[in-house]
Structure 1
């Protein structure tokens, strides 16, 4: 604590100040309570560092023959010479650090070459990162980027793709498009997911999050994609996202809790950035940032196996799932071991758990990330084996086959995924027809009796038959939702899997259950996960109402920018009231529709202005009162903020 008073108010004798004459003077520790009186002949700067902070504590600039008196209640250290710039020294060890200028998070326009960028330039011109950036700013999509890359050797692209344009790495311009497909292609060709621009010291992940202020759109998908591809979440100070369900203050967290701000990779996060970062880092981003910090990264050998089989994106599959961390990690484990030690037996997985908790979503994501074709079968309509595989010769219709028969034939010898949804609703006849394909990876085309190799097929059986076992187990063992104690969580999951395997024998019988590679339980969502799922549907609503009005199609709600103030509290309130463990995400989708969407539309329709396709963009805000009631209102002035 410091007290600056005029000299005539001082009642204690002044301490003698050692004269600092050269930069080599050692630091001098002063008494606990001292008074400093200095008469300066010329304008200068007095730099004082408190012992508790070990950082610059005070600077006073005095005019000609000025006098300054300071009482300091803690020991201080003087280091010189006077007039040195404290902003250029690290407050831990005295190492010089960059003095970055402030930034509005915008990238400069780039002009290189002549006219519109065309991917066909790659046929005649050398690879140019500058021309590619011009194309990005002109709006090229992933298809055109892929076309441009196709004209060059991979090593040619890799040598130049991390070059800078107008002082910024080219990948920053790629992230600025907010197109996650495009950034996947960019990184696949050698782009550095942890690039840092040198002008302001910003890491790519931080720029992706703050880019929301420039594009005025949600950037959650971009940030999540970067994390899934290996971006270092440690560049973001933890106080901005941990715990993820807690909303940071709009001006930024209390400096006393930002304990990691002096780490070298967080030097970019200056105080002027804190309010912006706190506002735009939404609950979904906070959830995945915290997840990244807690999860163990893939090992070098796991990365090697995935790379050898063109399956590196498999390692990031959990970033496209809310909850179900154990199921996602089990899928990764089973697939990597299957790829590392090939076998003629196909992989047969059972996804067990209540509806709406991610079974279908995980199967679809698996196909997308591995670029595998996916065949989905609704087993509720399958009563006979001919319904699944088609009739045999000479029965009517055998020439046409069935969708699954034709899919297996077309994908013979190739990797593919077959998703059998609600398989418990089939009959024993249908289940027995699957025994040979599941066990030996062999099948006969019903149309011509030719052999089909389905040994590389990934069979996924989704079932709700084990729901009660899973829910009851979770109610008896609530610690299964806590991931802090890794050993205890693993022990509970192993116990649950054993319980489910026993039940599986009663459901499908020994022959089929004996051919199953693994049973993956899908748990009910925790409260925090429920809130993030609710936020997912709120983001979908934001995109829907932001789209233009189209009078001819009957879409009369549009050009609405929806803000969520305190999104953690809002989503928690929606989840607490709306979540049903038997319906999962569907119940939260309904809750968002009734509590937010319908109220928003009604508020929008209360306006007297006639709806038109050219109407001005309007801001609406969702806020929460102390009693948990949600308020939806049209925002004006200071009420508007990109806080979602």
Structure 2
């Protein structure tokens, strides 16, 4: 078994290969598609990102397209900075992927809560808001100066919810040229190696409409169907953020609804996570029973969060 697969398993559950959670990860790790996708960045600086598969359930096409973009930069087939917009419905892994990006690469991350911005000045003076990062008193401007010319990650969370779209104008130059002046009259700062990740609920409705329009929505999305969704997503993002900003975005990656197998894996993961915290053991049969019971509580617009909530409610009476 792949070492990363072993890491996600609680030690006292290592023999429960029949369980949907473990079965999902084992099958996924051994798939031809997984190996082919991982090869895209196998020999690059971004190779550690392949481990995100063992944290992020589903979204294999998102990862494939992401790895393609990173591969182009690794091979110097692209010169503009890396700007990736993760979009789609809540609870499908956008924030998780953005959060894991820096930690897996072992590079600094600064997360901006875009809902708090009122002006361009607010962007550069914003403090990192993620509870998963090391506490810091640095503003975004200070963070970029401290990491000038080095790999780092800037996460722009809920980018479409900025109060005044003009607050995004200051991103035009760094996204296109990889440099800008963080203060009026100051020297230009080298931002060529910054990885910009935006998260957004833009395309929420489009994702579900595209899913339902497929010949058989119960089947996994194909590569061609996902690329079609990507093409449809850019016009919606352009309408929301503006064509000038979108033209500088390397790729727009819509997150798609979970398959039934993925929903089962999410529910099982939630069960084991919660019973581990409560020091309670359940048999594989009990876990499977809980998983099957909570599946009808899945809310597509809420994604994994709806299953976590349903599992918590079921475990209240058991623990």
With structure 2 as the length reference, what TM-score do the two structures score? 0.86
Q: Is the counterpart of residue 285 in structure 1 residue 4 in structure 2?
A: no
Partner of residue 152, structure 2:
416
Correspondence for 1:356 among 91, 96, 100: 91
Cα pair distance change 1:453/1:591, threshold 3 Å: same
Tell me the matched-pair count.
Answer: 307
Quote the Cα distance in structure 1 between the aligned partners of 2:200 and 2:80. 22
Larger RCO (CA under 8 A, 6+ residues apart): 2
Residues 159-204 of structure 1: CA distance to partner in whole angstroms, max 9, x if unpaired? xxxxxxxxxxxxxxxx9xxxx9xx77xxxxxxxxxxxxxxxxxxxx
Structure ID, larger Rg: 1
Correspondence for 1:582 among 290, 301, 304: 301
Residues 328-375 of structure 1: CA distance to partner in whole angstroms, max 9, x if unpaired? 111111112211116542111110111111001111222222112221
Partner of residue 571, structure 1:
291
Cα pair distance change 1:299/1:280, threshold 3 Å: closer
Correspondence for 2:219 among 468, 482, 485: 482
Quote the Cα distance in structure 2 between the aligned partners of 1:445 and 1:459. 16
Partner of residue 542, structure 1:
275
Q: CA deviation at 1:466?
A: 1.3
Q: Is the counterpart of residue 494 in structure 1 residue 227 in structure 2?
A: yes
Q: CA deviation at 1:571?
A: 1.1
Q: CA RMSD in A?
A: 2.9
* Structure 2, gaps ≥5 residues long: 127-136
Partner of residue 593, structure 1:
312
Q: CA deviation at 1:296?
A: 2.4
Residues 609-636 of structure 1: CA distance to partner in whole angstroms, max 9, x if unpaired? xxxxxxxxxxxxxxxxxxxxxxxxxxxx
Q: CA deviation at 1:566?
A: 5.5
Q: CA deviation at 1:326?
A: 0.8
2:153–2:195 Cα contact (<8 Å) kept: yes
Q: Is the counterpart of residue 517 in structure 1 residue 223 in structure 2?
A: no
Cα pair distance change 1:490/1:291, threshold 3 Å: same
1:351–1:460 Cα contact (<8 Å) kept: yes
User: Which of the pair is proportionally richer in strand?
Assistant: 1
User: Which of the pair is proportionally richer in helix?
Assistant: 2
Quote the Cα distance in structure 2 between the aligned partners of 1:406 and 1:495. 40
2:182–2:188 Cα contact (<8 Å) kept: yes
1:414–1:457 Cα contact (<8 Å) kept: yes
2:20–2:261 Cα contact (<8 Å) kept: no
Cα pair distance change 1:475/1:538, threshold 3 Å: same
Q: Which runs of structure 2 are paired with 1:257-336 in the superposition (5 Å)? A: 277=15, 279-298=16-35, 302=39, 306-307=42-43, 309-336=44-71
Residues 546-587 of structure 1: CA distance to partner in whole angstroms, max 9, x if unpaired? 1xxxxxxxxxxxxx33334153443132122x2111111111
Q: CA deviation at 1:313?
A: 2.2
Partner of residue 142, structure 2:
406
Quote the Cα distance in structure 2 between the aligned partners of 1:518 and 1:416. 18
Indicate the SS of the match to 2:150: coil
Indicate the SS of the match to 1:511: helix
Partner of residue 365, structure 1:
100
Quote the Cα distance in structure 1 between the aligned partners of 2:37 and 2:63. 19
Quote the Cα distance in structure 2 between the aligned partners of 1:343 and 1:593. 46
Quote the Cα distance in structure 2 between the aligned partners of 1:300 and 1:575. 30
1:528–1:572 Cα contact (<8 Å) kept: no
1:534–1:592 Cα contact (<8 Å) kept: yes
Cα pair distance change 1:478/1:539, threshold 3 Å: farther
2:230–2:253 Cα contact (<8 Å) kept: yes
Quote the Cα distance in structure 1 between the aligned partners of 2:37 and 2:241. 39
Quote the Cα distance in structure 2 between the aligned partners of 1:481 and 1:442. 46
1:306–1:314 Cα contact (<8 Å) kept: no
Partner of residue 386, structure 1:
121
Partner of residue 188, structure 2:
451
Quote the Cα distance in structure 2 between the aligned partners of 1:509 and 1:313. 33
Cα pair distance change 1:540/1:302, threshold 3 Å: closer
Quote the Cα distance in structure 1 between the aligned partners of 2:49 and 2:17. 28
Cα pair distance change 1:346/1:300, threshold 3 Å: closer
Quote the Cα distance in structure 2 between the aligned partners of 1:499 and 1:482. 20
Residues 426-464 of structure 1: CA distance to partner in whole angstroms, max 9, x if unpaired? 122112111011111112233982331111111111111
Cα pair distance change 1:497/1:423, threshold 3 Å: same
Partner of residue 243, structure 1:
none
Quote the Cα distance in structure 2 between the aligned partners of 1:325 and 1:310. 20
Partner of residue 167, structure 2:
430
